[in-house]
């Protein structure tokens, strides 16, 4: 829109990269058209939808003002002209070659939920052959991501969905995740039974042909926690990431798998990638993994603010309390460590959890020793 060749070239690059990324979102056909649809103008959207034969329109603009470049993007429902999603990206002229990557990452992760919801509304059966199973699974996923205290009710809904559709990959994978989190949070009445069930569900999720990338990494994360063939699991997650580099949930699960394997630095980087891909999502899960990675790197001062951020996002999440208390203990701040332990005890009776999911013995020792020191308090 600036009328200069550099802006036009950048716009062409953005279009090419976005089209390539969108075609990787499963079986999504993408048609490249000419002439932008004006967001909010129903006539433009209806005409573009008819001309291109598409359900959604993705459009935007590139502007240059001095040394600054701004890219604005919109996702529009062609049938109604409704703008479902929009985002703006600013950068300096010297960053123009990195800007398409930012646009592509945010676009593919940002629009996926809207497209999935709309597609289900238009498809009577939805992704599952049983619409009730699908509805239960979607409700469970929303519960799961809302707060750690909602993991048990989310799992109950997922079990209902599985009873209706035993081969529904997303429900199987999310239920497997719920099993391992119930154990890791210290909220399991029967850890052995939850472990067996979690392994069974995750294996079934990977075996089904209806497992999407998120289901695959969720199942892999659960199996990694339970200690199942970790090398194979790590390879699987790496392959899914290569095919779906803009799916934030894949990076989150990969960060957890790296952490379990004792690879602290990759875990930190992968968790930070989640924050870059989904800047508007809840920060707690990724921040918690960043803090845990810093902890195992013995960068306790850096771990504390990340863990505090995770707890501000979800005060019912037990793991950050444990790592935060251990950080304070190693820094000699035992009074603060004791305060954190008391907050932990208010949400779970399990202060020192089972750490068998940590592959490196030195990490298990570092973690448990820190918690023990924190629980003992000042002497």
Give me the pLDDT at residue 196, please: 96
Mean pLDDT of the chain, nearest integer? 83
Q: How confident is the model at residue 9 (pLDDT cuts 50, 70, 90)?
A: low
Q: Which domains does the chain have, with CATH numbers?
A: 5-122 (3.40.50.10070), 124-244 (1.25.40.10), 262-379 (1.25.40.10)
Task: Please tell me the least confidently modeled range out of 11-20, 58-67, 293-302.
Answer: 11-20
Give me the pLDDT at residue 99, please: 65
When mean pLDDT is compared over 96-100, 224-228, 290-294, the highest value belongs to 290-294
Query: What's the pLDDT tens digit per position in 279-338?
Result: 656 788 999 999 999 999 999 999 999 999 999 999 999 999 999 999 999 999 999 999
Q: What angle do CA 124, 126, 128 make, to 5 degrees?
A: 125
């Amino acid at each position: 829109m600036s009328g200069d060749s550099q802006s036009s070239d950048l716009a062409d690059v953005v279009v090419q990269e976005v089209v390539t990324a969108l075609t990787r979102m499963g079986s999504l056909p993408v048609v490249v058209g000419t002439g932008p649809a004006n967001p909010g103008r129903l006539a433009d959207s209806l005409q573009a939808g008819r001309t291109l034969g598409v359900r959604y329109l993705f459009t935007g603009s590139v502007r240059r003002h001095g040394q600054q470049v701004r890219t604005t993007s919109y996702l529009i429902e062609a049938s109604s002209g409704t703008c479902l999603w929009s985002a703006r990206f600013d950068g300096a002229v010297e960053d123009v070659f990195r800007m398409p990557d930012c646009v592509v990452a945010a676009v593919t992760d940002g629009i996926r939920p809207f497209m999935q919801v709309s597609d289900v509304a238009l498809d009577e059966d939805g992704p599952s052959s049983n619409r009730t199973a699908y509805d239960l699974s979607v409700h469970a996923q929303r519960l799961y991501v809302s707060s750690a205290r909602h993991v048990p009710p989310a799992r109950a809904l997922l079990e209902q969905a599985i009873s209706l559709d035993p081969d529904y990959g997303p429900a199987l994978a999310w239920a497997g995740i719920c099993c391992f989190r119930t154990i890791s949070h210290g909220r399991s009445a029967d850890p052995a039974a939850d472990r067996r069930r979690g392994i069974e569900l995750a294996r079934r999720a990977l075996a089904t042909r209806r497992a999407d990338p998120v289901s695959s990494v969720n199942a892999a994360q659960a199996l990694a926690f339970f200690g199942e063939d970790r090398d194979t699991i790590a390879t699987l997650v790496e392959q899914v990431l290569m095919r779906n580099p803009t799916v934030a949930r894949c990076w989150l699960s990969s960060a957890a798998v790296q952490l379990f394997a004792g690879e602290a630095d990759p875990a930190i980087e992968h968790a930070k990638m989640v924050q870059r891909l989904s800047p508007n999502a809840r920060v707690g899960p990724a921040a918690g993994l960043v803090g845990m990675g810093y902890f195992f790197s013995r960068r306790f001062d850096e771990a504390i603010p990340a863990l505090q951020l995770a707890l501000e996002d979800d005060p019912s999440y037990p793991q950050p309390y444990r790592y935060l208390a251990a950080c304070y203990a190693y820094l000699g701040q035992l009074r603060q460590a004791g305060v954190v332990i008391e907050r932990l005890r208010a949400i779970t009776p399990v202060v020192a959890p089972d750490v068998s999911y940590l592959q490196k013995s030195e990490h298990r020792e570092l973690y448990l020793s820190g918690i023990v020191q924190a629980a003992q308090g000042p002497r």
